[in-house]
Homo-oligomer: A and B are copies of this chain.
Amino acid sequence: MTADGRPTLSRRALLVGGGLAGAGVAAAAALPGTGGAAPVDGTATGAVPFHGTHQQGIATPEQARLVFASFDVTGDRTALADLLGAWTAAAERLAAGQSLPGVADGFAPPADTGEALDLPASRLTITVGYGPGLFDDRFGLAGRRPAALVELPAFPGDALDPARSGGDLCVQACADDPQVAFHAVHALARMALGTAALRWMQLGFGRTAAPGAGATTPRNLLGFKDGTDNLVTTDAGALAAHVWVDDRSDQAWMTGGSYLVARRIRTHVEAWDRSTLGDQEATIGRVKTTGAPLGRRSERDPVELAAVDSSGVPRIPLDAHIRVAAPATNNGAALLRRGYSFADGVDPATGELDCGLFFICFQKDPTVQFIPIQQRLAHSDALSHYLLHTGSAVFACPPGTAPGRPWGYGLF
Protein backbone atom coordinates (compact mmCIF):
# COMPACT_ATOMS: atom_id res chain seq x y z
CA MET A 1 0.00 0.00 0.00
CA THR A 2 1.15 3.50 -0.62
CA ALA A 3 1.24 6.30 1.89
CA ASP A 4 -2.21 7.35 0.77
CA GLY A 5 -3.63 3.86 0.93
CA ARG A 6 -3.71 2.98 -2.73
CA PRO A 7 -2.16 -0.32 -3.76
CA THR A 8 1.20 -0.13 -5.48
CA LEU A 9 1.63 -2.50 -8.35
CA SER A 10 4.75 -1.30 -10.05
CA ARG A 11 7.19 -3.60 -8.23
CA ARG A 12 4.87 -6.58 -8.32
CA ALA A 13 4.26 -6.16 -12.02
CA LEU A 14 7.90 -6.93 -12.62
CA LEU A 15 7.99 -10.28 -10.92
CA VAL A 16 4.76 -12.01 -11.77
CA GLY A 17 4.11 -15.66 -12.25
CA GLY A 18 5.41 -18.24 -9.81
CA GLY A 19 2.89 -20.18 -7.83
CA LEU A 20 3.33 -23.11 -10.17
CA ALA A 21 6.42 -24.56 -8.60
CA GLY A 22 6.76 -28.16 -7.62
CA ALA A 23 9.27 -29.64 -5.24
CA GLY A 24 12.56 -27.87 -5.68
CA VAL A 25 11.80 -26.40 -9.06
CA ALA A 26 9.92 -23.19 -9.52
CA ALA A 27 8.11 -22.58 -12.74
CA ALA A 28 9.55 -20.09 -15.15
CA ALA A 29 7.96 -16.73 -14.44
CA ALA A 30 7.21 -14.79 -17.57
CA LEU A 31 8.63 -11.37 -16.93
CA PRO A 32 7.50 -8.40 -18.92
CA GLY A 33 10.17 -6.03 -20.05
CA THR A 34 9.95 -2.37 -19.33
CA GLY A 35 7.01 -2.23 -21.69
CA GLY A 36 4.93 -4.05 -19.12
CA ALA A 37 6.06 -2.03 -16.15
CA ALA A 38 5.06 1.38 -14.97
CA PRO A 39 6.89 4.11 -16.85
CA VAL A 40 10.12 5.36 -15.37
CA ASP A 41 9.06 8.94 -15.10
CA GLY A 42 8.96 9.72 -11.43
CA THR A 43 5.19 9.77 -11.38
CA ALA A 44 4.71 6.64 -9.30
CA THR A 45 3.13 7.33 -5.95
CA GLY A 46 5.63 8.71 -3.52
CA ALA A 47 8.39 8.81 -6.13
CA VAL A 48 10.96 11.59 -6.43
CA PRO A 49 11.92 12.36 -10.05
CA PHE A 50 15.30 10.83 -10.78
CA HIS A 51 16.90 12.82 -13.58
CA GLY A 52 17.63 16.51 -13.25
CA THR A 53 20.21 19.26 -13.13
CA HIS A 54 21.33 18.16 -9.70
CA GLN A 55 21.30 14.78 -8.02
CA GLN A 56 18.39 14.16 -5.70
CA GLY A 57 19.09 13.58 -2.01
CA ILE A 58 20.86 16.91 -1.62
CA ALA A 59 18.23 19.66 -1.81
CA THR A 60 15.43 17.10 -1.66
CA PRO A 61 13.33 17.51 1.52
CA GLU A 62 14.87 15.13 4.01
CA GLN A 63 13.34 11.67 4.16
CA ALA A 64 12.87 9.82 7.43
CA ARG A 65 15.49 7.12 7.00
CA LEU A 66 19.03 6.76 5.70
CA VAL A 67 21.20 3.90 4.51
CA PHE A 68 24.62 5.19 3.57
CA ALA A 69 27.19 2.90 1.96
CA SER A 70 30.82 3.32 1.02
CA PHE A 71 32.59 1.10 -1.50
CA ASP A 72 36.15 0.25 -2.44
CA VAL A 73 36.58 -0.19 -6.18
CA THR A 74 38.29 -3.46 -7.00
CA GLY A 75 37.73 -3.58 -10.76
CA ASP A 76 39.42 -1.66 -13.54
CA ARG A 77 38.52 1.55 -15.36
CA THR A 78 36.18 -0.15 -17.79
CA ALA A 79 34.40 -2.07 -15.09
CA LEU A 80 34.03 1.11 -13.06
CA ALA A 81 32.51 3.02 -15.96
CA ASP A 82 30.17 0.12 -16.71
CA LEU A 83 29.13 -0.10 -13.08
CA LEU A 84 28.29 3.59 -12.87
CA GLY A 85 26.16 3.26 -15.98
CA ALA A 86 24.40 0.19 -14.65
CA TRP A 87 23.85 1.84 -11.28
CA THR A 88 22.24 4.82 -13.00
CA ALA A 89 19.75 2.65 -14.84
CA ALA A 90 18.98 0.65 -11.70
CA ALA A 91 18.64 3.72 -9.50
CA GLU A 92 16.20 5.26 -11.94
CA ARG A 93 13.95 2.21 -11.60
CA LEU A 94 14.29 1.99 -7.83
CA ALA A 95 13.48 5.67 -7.37
CA ALA A 96 10.31 5.08 -9.37
CA GLY A 97 9.29 2.28 -7.00
CA GLN A 98 10.09 -0.45 -9.49
CA SER A 99 12.06 -3.64 -9.19
CA LEU A 100 15.17 -4.39 -11.14
CA PRO A 101 14.31 -5.94 -14.48
CA GLY A 102 15.61 -9.21 -15.77
CA VAL A 103 14.66 -12.69 -16.78
CA ALA A 104 13.45 -14.49 -13.68
CA ASP A 105 12.96 -18.13 -14.44
CA GLY A 106 13.32 -20.67 -11.70
CA PHE A 107 16.81 -21.61 -12.86
CA ALA A 108 18.40 -18.21 -12.35
CA PRO A 109 18.73 -15.95 -9.35
CA PRO A 110 15.94 -13.39 -9.18
CA ALA A 111 16.94 -10.13 -10.82
CA ASP A 112 15.61 -8.25 -7.83
CA THR A 113 16.29 -9.41 -4.29
CA GLY A 114 12.66 -8.75 -3.48
CA GLU A 115 12.49 -7.26 0.00
CA ALA A 116 10.82 -4.09 -1.30
CA LEU A 117 8.33 -5.89 -3.57
CA ASP A 118 5.20 -4.70 -1.81
CA LEU A 119 6.50 -1.30 -0.77
CA PRO A 120 5.92 2.03 -2.52
CA ALA A 121 8.72 4.26 -3.78
CA SER A 122 8.74 5.97 -0.38
CA ARG A 123 10.48 9.07 -1.77
CA LEU A 124 13.64 7.06 -2.33
CA THR A 125 16.62 9.07 -3.52
CA ILE A 126 19.98 7.58 -4.43
CA THR A 127 22.94 9.94 -4.47
CA VAL A 128 26.35 8.84 -5.71
CA GLY A 129 29.72 10.36 -4.89
CA TYR A 130 33.38 9.78 -5.73
CA GLY A 131 36.04 9.65 -3.03
CA PRO A 132 39.53 11.10 -3.46
CA GLY A 133 40.88 7.57 -3.98
CA LEU A 134 39.01 7.27 -7.25
CA PHE A 135 41.42 9.81 -8.68
CA ASP A 136 44.64 8.03 -7.80
CA ASP A 137 46.58 6.06 -10.43
CA ARG A 138 44.25 3.05 -10.68
CA PHE A 139 41.71 4.31 -13.20
CA GLY A 140 43.49 6.96 -15.19
CA LEU A 141 41.38 9.64 -13.57
CA ALA A 142 44.12 11.68 -11.89
CA GLY A 143 43.62 14.47 -14.37
CA ARG A 144 39.94 14.64 -13.54
CA ARG A 145 40.38 15.27 -9.84
CA PRO A 146 38.83 18.57 -8.73
CA ALA A 147 41.00 20.75 -6.54
CA ALA A 148 38.23 20.88 -3.96
CA LEU A 149 38.27 17.09 -3.45
CA VAL A 150 40.97 16.79 -0.84
CA GLU A 151 41.37 14.23 1.91
CA LEU A 152 40.08 15.78 5.11
CA PRO A 153 42.86 16.74 7.51
CA ALA A 154 43.05 15.28 10.99
CA PHE A 155 41.02 17.38 13.41
CA PRO A 156 41.73 17.68 17.15
CA GLY A 157 39.92 14.96 19.05
CA ASP A 158 39.27 12.75 16.05
CA ALA A 159 38.95 9.06 16.91
CA LEU A 160 38.39 7.73 13.43
CA ASP A 161 37.81 4.06 12.77
CA PRO A 162 39.23 3.17 9.35
CA ALA A 163 36.43 0.61 9.00
CA ARG A 164 33.91 3.47 9.20
CA SER A 165 35.84 5.98 7.09
CA GLY A 166 36.78 6.74 3.52
CA GLY A 167 35.91 4.86 0.37
CA ASP A 168 36.18 5.25 -3.40
CA LEU A 169 32.42 5.52 -4.00
CA CYS A 170 29.45 6.37 -1.85
CA VAL A 171 25.77 5.66 -2.20
CA GLN A 172 23.44 7.71 -0.02
CA ALA A 173 19.99 6.09 -0.06
CA CYS A 174 17.26 8.05 1.71
CA ALA A 175 13.60 7.02 1.91
CA ASP A 176 10.65 7.22 4.21
CA ASP A 177 10.84 3.44 4.69
CA PRO A 178 14.11 1.88 5.91
CA GLN A 179 13.48 -1.34 4.02
CA VAL A 180 13.24 0.60 0.74
CA ALA A 181 16.51 2.39 1.47
CA PHE A 182 18.19 -0.86 2.48
CA HIS A 183 16.93 -2.57 -0.65
CA ALA A 184 18.49 0.14 -2.80
CA VAL A 185 21.94 -0.30 -1.27
CA HIS A 186 21.56 -4.08 -1.29
CA ALA A 187 20.66 -4.01 -4.98
CA LEU A 188 23.53 -1.73 -5.98
CA ALA A 189 26.04 -3.67 -3.86
CA ARG A 190 24.95 -6.90 -5.52
CA MET A 191 25.41 -5.38 -8.98
CA ALA A 192 28.91 -4.28 -7.96
CA LEU A 193 30.20 -7.81 -7.36
CA GLY A 194 33.70 -8.02 -8.79
CA THR A 195 33.95 -4.26 -9.39
CA ALA A 196 33.31 -2.64 -6.02
CA ALA A 197 33.06 -4.06 -2.52
CA LEU A 198 31.17 -2.65 0.42
CA ARG A 199 33.55 -0.90 2.78
CA TRP A 200 31.10 0.34 5.39
CA MET A 201 27.42 1.07 5.80
CA GLN A 202 25.55 3.29 8.22
CA LEU A 203 21.84 3.42 9.01
CA GLY A 204 20.20 6.56 10.32
CA PHE A 205 16.77 7.57 11.48
CA GLY A 206 14.53 10.12 12.96
CA ARG A 207 15.01 13.32 11.05
CA THR A 208 11.33 13.37 10.21
CA ALA A 209 10.77 17.01 9.31
CA ALA A 210 11.98 19.04 6.37
CA PRO A 211 14.24 21.88 7.53
CA GLY A 212 12.91 25.28 6.69
CA ALA A 213 9.59 24.06 5.40
CA GLY A 214 7.66 25.26 8.43
CA ALA A 215 7.41 21.76 9.85
CA THR A 216 8.58 20.89 13.33
CA THR A 217 12.35 20.86 13.46
CA PRO A 218 13.55 17.37 14.37
CA ARG A 219 15.50 16.78 17.56
CA ASN A 220 18.86 15.10 17.81
CA LEU A 221 19.71 12.54 20.50
CA LEU A 222 20.88 15.35 22.79
CA GLY A 223 17.21 16.35 22.94
CA PHE A 224 17.70 19.65 21.11
CA LYS A 225 16.10 20.82 17.90
CA ASP A 226 18.69 20.49 15.18
CA GLY A 227 18.60 22.30 11.88
CA THR A 228 16.73 25.49 12.73
CA ASP A 229 19.24 27.71 10.97
CA ASN A 230 20.13 25.24 8.26
CA LEU A 231 20.15 26.42 4.67
CA VAL A 232 16.63 26.36 3.29
CA THR A 233 16.42 23.92 0.42
CA THR A 234 13.89 26.03 -1.44
CA ASP A 235 16.23 29.07 -1.41
CA ALA A 236 17.84 28.75 -4.84
CA GLY A 237 20.11 31.68 -4.17
CA ALA A 238 21.52 30.17 -1.02
CA LEU A 239 22.03 26.83 -2.72
CA ALA A 240 23.81 28.52 -5.62
CA ALA A 241 26.02 30.40 -3.19
CA HIS A 242 26.87 27.54 -0.83
CA VAL A 243 25.98 24.13 -2.28
CA TRP A 244 26.14 23.74 -6.05
CA VAL A 245 29.41 23.67 -7.90
CA ASP A 246 29.23 26.23 -10.70
CA ASP A 247 30.98 26.55 -14.04
CA ARG A 248 33.99 28.20 -12.46
CA SER A 249 35.02 24.77 -11.17
CA ASP A 250 38.34 23.48 -12.41
CA GLN A 251 36.58 20.31 -13.56
CA ALA A 252 33.70 20.84 -15.94
CA TRP A 253 32.20 17.45 -15.10
CA MET A 254 31.43 18.69 -11.56
CA THR A 255 29.30 21.67 -12.63
CA GLY A 256 25.95 21.21 -10.92
CA GLY A 257 27.45 18.79 -8.43
CA SER A 258 28.27 19.20 -4.75
CA TYR A 259 30.73 17.91 -2.19
CA LEU A 260 29.50 15.58 0.54
CA VAL A 261 31.26 15.31 3.88
CA ALA A 262 30.08 12.55 6.22
CA ARG A 263 31.12 12.39 9.85
CA ARG A 264 29.95 9.69 12.24
CA ILE A 265 29.69 11.75 15.42
CA ARG A 266 29.13 9.68 18.50
CA THR A 267 27.53 11.66 21.31
CA HIS A 268 28.41 10.83 24.89
CA VAL A 269 24.80 10.93 25.97
CA GLU A 270 25.57 9.56 29.42
CA ALA A 271 27.75 12.56 30.25
CA TRP A 272 25.37 14.93 28.51
CA ASP A 273 22.42 13.52 30.47
CA ARG A 274 24.23 14.33 33.72
CA SER A 275 24.87 17.95 32.80
CA THR A 276 22.39 20.52 34.01
CA LEU A 277 19.72 22.03 31.83
CA GLY A 278 21.54 25.35 32.15
CA ASP A 279 24.80 23.81 31.00
CA GLN A 280 23.10 22.07 28.10
CA GLU A 281 21.43 25.26 26.93
CA ALA A 282 24.63 27.27 27.32
CA THR A 283 26.54 24.61 25.39
CA ILE A 284 24.15 24.72 22.46
CA GLY A 285 23.10 28.37 22.73
CA ARG A 286 19.40 27.58 22.53
CA VAL A 287 16.51 26.78 24.87
CA LYS A 288 15.95 23.04 24.97
CA THR A 289 12.16 23.02 24.79
CA THR A 290 11.47 25.73 22.27
CA GLY A 291 14.70 25.88 20.32
CA ALA A 292 14.78 29.67 20.74
CA PRO A 293 18.18 31.36 20.86
CA LEU A 294 19.07 32.05 24.49
CA GLY A 295 17.38 35.25 25.59
CA ARG A 296 14.72 35.02 22.89
CA ARG A 297 11.24 33.52 22.83
CA SER A 298 10.83 31.54 19.62
CA GLU A 299 12.78 29.07 17.60
CA ARG A 300 12.78 31.26 14.51
CA ASP A 301 13.88 34.41 16.34
CA PRO A 302 17.16 35.63 14.86
CA VAL A 303 20.40 34.56 16.50
CA GLU A 304 21.85 37.88 17.66
CA LEU A 305 25.43 37.07 18.53
CA ALA A 306 26.08 40.59 19.82
CA ALA A 307 23.23 40.55 22.35
CA VAL A 308 24.28 40.96 25.98
CA ASP A 309 22.35 40.79 29.21
CA SER A 310 22.04 43.66 31.70
CA SER A 311 25.50 42.85 33.04
CA GLY A 312 27.04 43.02 29.62
CA VAL A 313 27.51 39.24 29.38
CA PRO A 314 26.80 37.76 25.96
CA ARG A 315 23.47 35.94 25.94
CA ILE A 316 24.92 33.37 23.55
CA PRO A 317 28.10 32.20 25.30
CA LEU A 318 31.36 32.64 23.46
CA ASP A 319 31.83 28.88 23.14
CA ALA A 320 28.20 28.01 22.38
CA HIS A 321 27.78 25.67 19.45
CA ILE A 322 25.51 27.96 17.48
CA ARG A 323 27.98 30.83 17.82
CA VAL A 324 31.08 28.88 16.84
CA ALA A 325 29.28 27.20 13.93
CA ALA A 326 27.52 30.32 12.67
CA PRO A 327 28.34 31.63 9.20
CA ALA A 328 28.87 35.03 10.81
CA THR A 329 31.86 33.70 12.72
CA ASN A 330 33.14 31.59 9.80
CA ASN A 331 33.67 34.20 7.09
CA GLY A 332 30.15 33.58 5.86
CA ALA A 333 30.74 29.88 5.18
CA ALA A 334 27.56 27.83 5.41
CA LEU A 335 26.76 24.15 4.92
CA LEU A 336 23.62 22.34 3.86
CA ARG A 337 23.31 19.79 6.65
CA ARG A 338 21.38 16.59 6.00
CA GLY A 339 22.31 14.25 8.86
CA TYR A 340 20.52 11.41 10.60
CA SER A 341 20.62 10.08 14.14
CA PHE A 342 22.07 6.63 14.66
CA ALA A 343 22.01 4.07 17.46
CA ASP A 344 24.31 1.12 16.89
CA GLY A 345 24.00 -0.69 20.19
CA VAL A 346 26.30 -0.69 23.18
CA ASP A 347 30.01 0.06 23.15
CA PRO A 348 31.44 -3.12 24.66
CA ALA A 349 34.44 -1.22 25.98
CA THR A 350 32.39 1.09 28.17
CA GLY A 351 28.81 -0.19 28.33
CA GLU A 352 27.69 3.17 26.96
CA LEU A 353 25.36 3.73 24.05
CA ASP A 354 27.07 3.90 20.68
CA CYS A 355 24.74 6.55 19.33
CA GLY A 356 24.81 10.02 17.92
CA LEU A 357 24.56 11.92 14.69
CA PHE A 358 25.63 10.67 11.30
CA PHE A 359 26.41 14.16 10.07
CA ILE A 360 26.16 14.72 6.34
CA CYS A 361 26.68 18.09 4.74
CA PHE A 362 26.80 19.35 1.18
CA GLN A 363 28.80 22.30 -0.06
CA LYS A 364 30.43 23.96 -3.02
CA ASP A 365 33.99 23.54 -1.72
CA PRO A 366 34.96 21.73 1.47
CA THR A 367 38.34 23.47 1.58
CA VAL A 368 36.61 26.75 2.39
CA GLN A 369 33.49 25.35 4.09
CA PHE A 370 33.56 22.14 6.14
CA ILE A 371 37.30 22.01 6.78
CA PRO A 372 37.77 25.48 8.31
CA ILE A 373 34.43 25.30 10.13
CA GLN A 374 35.33 21.94 11.68
CA GLN A 375 38.80 23.18 12.63
CA ARG A 376 37.14 26.02 14.49
CA LEU A 377 34.55 23.74 16.11
CA ALA A 378 37.14 21.20 17.22
CA HIS A 379 39.06 23.95 18.98
CA SER A 380 36.34 26.20 20.34
CA ASP A 381 32.93 24.52 20.49
CA ALA A 382 31.76 23.66 24.02
CA LEU A 383 29.74 20.84 22.52
CA SER A 384 32.87 19.10 21.32
CA HIS A 385 33.44 17.84 24.88
CA TYR A 386 30.44 15.56 24.39
CA LEU A 387 31.29 14.38 20.89
CA LEU A 388 33.60 11.82 19.37
CA HIS A 389 34.11 11.70 15.62
CA THR A 390 34.43 7.99 14.82
CA GLY A 391 34.02 8.01 11.06
CA SER A 392 34.84 10.41 8.25
CA ALA A 393 34.60 10.57 4.49
CA VAL A 394 34.43 13.05 1.66
CA PHE A 395 32.97 12.55 -1.80
CA ALA A 396 32.48 14.59 -4.94
CA CYS A 397 28.85 14.15 -5.97
CA PRO A 398 28.52 14.74 -9.69
CA PRO A 399 25.60 16.68 -11.15
CA GLY A 400 22.28 15.11 -11.95
CA THR A 401 21.77 12.50 -14.62
CA ALA A 402 19.83 12.60 -17.86
CA PRO A 403 19.08 10.01 -20.52
CA GLY A 404 22.44 9.27 -22.11
CA ARG A 405 24.26 11.08 -19.32
CA PRO A 406 24.67 8.54 -16.49
CA TRP A 407 26.83 8.76 -13.40
CA GLY A 408 30.38 8.83 -14.61
CA TYR A 409 29.57 11.09 -17.55
CA GLY A 410 32.50 13.34 -18.32
CA LEU A 411 34.90 11.24 -16.27
CA PHE A 412 35.93 8.61 -18.78
Residues of B within 8 A of A224 (CB): 114
> CB distance A219 to B289 under 8 Å?
no
Give which listed residue, B109, B274, B346, contacts A276 with CB less than 8 A: B109
> CB distance A199 to B18 under 8 Å?
no
Bitwise interface map of A from 27 to 49 toward B, beta carbon under 8 Å scored 1, else 0 = 00100000000000000000000
Choose, from A139-147, A290-298, A373-381, A396-404, the stretch at the interface: A290-298
Give which listed residue, B25, B278, B290, B353, contacts A201 with CB less than 8 A: B353
Choose, from A313-321, A325-333, A363-371, the stretch at the interface: A313-321
Interface status of A63 (Cβ within 8 A of chain B): no
- Minimal beta-carbon separation of A152 from chain B (angstroms): 21
- Minimal beta-carbon separation of A266 from chain B (angstroms): 14
Known contacts: A22-B295, A117-B223, A343-B182. The answer to whether A106 contacts B177 by CB under 8 A is no
Interface status of A190 (Cβ within 8 A of chain B): yes
* A interface majority secondary structure: loop
Residues of B within 8 A of A317 (CB): 23-24
- Minimal beta-carbon separation of A338 from chain B (angstroms): 17
Contact surface of A with B, Cβ cutoff 8 Å = 1, 12, 15-26, 29, 65, 67, 104-110, 112-118, 163, 177-179, 182, 186, 189-190, 197-203, 205-206, 208, 215-216, 218-224, 269-270, 273-282, 287-290, 292, 294-297, 309, 313-317, 341, 343-346, 348, 351-353, 355
- Minimal beta-carbon separation of A77 from chain B (angstroms): 22
Give which listed residue, B115, B218, B273, contacts A109 with CB less than 8 A: B273
